[in-house]
Amino acid sequence: MTALPDWMRPPRPEGWFAEDLDHLPDAPRHTELIDGTLVFRLTPQRWWHSHLVTTLTTALEARAPYGFEVALEMTIRLDERNRPEPDILVTTTPYAPDRTCFTPDEVQLVVEAVSPESAHRDRTVKLRKYAEAGIPHYWCVEDEAGAPVVHVYELDGPTGAYAPAGIFRGTLKRPVPFDIELDLDALVPGK
């Protein structure tokens, strides 16, 4: 049996809390907190995912009007036991270099690029948690034979759940959270 390093032991009997992520210097990059459990990326990142996230971030930054900022791989403190790290988020909070996370009311859009390891969390767990936290827009980007397909969701105020707002191939055009028109095929080479 392999002994756990000390940093992997929860600091209290109830487990991990959102603020604990800021005090784990030995944790792997991209460590998330879901329902009080640390979640690590254990498989190597695919180049498709990395390239898509980079080019989509750049495309959103180029289209974001004044007052919107795009952040890459920053956590959102949904509550005291949940601090997921989406691939991309769009916020209306001004840039602050020492910030380590956002709150749901500061986030307008969350984007998750689905990988085999994260598929269940991205399609179900995070979809529900982001909606329950009140984040207005969620995009789930899937790899369809190498081409990005974006499943877009909008928060339905009365139910507090996401409603599907479209599945986009080739081109994505949305009026929210700001006017966005993207050539999805241009986000990955060879498409």
3-state secondary structure the chain: CCCCCHHHCCCCCCCCCHHHHHHCCCCCCCCEEECCEEECCCCCCCHHHHHHHHHHHHHHHHHCCCCCEEEECCEECCECCEECCCCEEEECCCCCCCCCEECHHHEEEEEEECCCCCHHHHHHHHHHHHHHCCCCEEEEEEEECCEEEEEEEEEECCCCEEEEEEEEECEEEECCCCCEEEEHHHHCCCC
Report yes or no on 172 lying in a domain: yes
Top pLDDT among 176 and 191 is at: 176
Q: Which residues form the domain of 29?
A: 13-187
Report yes or no on 2 lying in a domain: no
CATH code: domain of residue 123 = 3.90.1570.10
Q: What is the model's pLDDT at position 102?
A: 98
Q: Which residues pair with 72 in a beta bridge?
A: 88
Report yes or no on 5 lying in a domain: no
Check pLDDT > 70 for residue 1.
no
Tens of pLDDT along 38-73? 888 767 788 999 999 999 999 999 999 999 999 999
Report yes or no on 79 lying in a domain: yes
Report yes or no on 175 lying in a domain: yes
Tens of pLDDT along 115-169? 998 999 999 999 999 999 999 999 999 999 999 999 999 999 999 999 999 999 9
Report yes or no on 125 lying in a domain: yes
Arithmetic mean of pLDDT, 7-32: 86
Arithmetic mean of pLDDT, 2-26: 84
Report yes or no on 84 lying in a domain: yes
Residue 191 banded pLDDT, cuts 50, 70, 90? low
Tens of pLDDT along 84-114? 999 999 999 999 999 999 999 999 999 999 9
Check pLDDT > 90 for residue 10.
no
Q: What is the model's pLDDT at position 11?
A: 83
DSSP state of 122: I
pLDDT exceeding 70 applies to what percent of the chain? 98
If one counts the domains in the chain, the total is: 1
Report yes or no on 8 lying in a domain: no
Q: What is the model's pLDDT at position 115?
A: 92
Q: What is the model's pLDDT at position 4?
A: 74
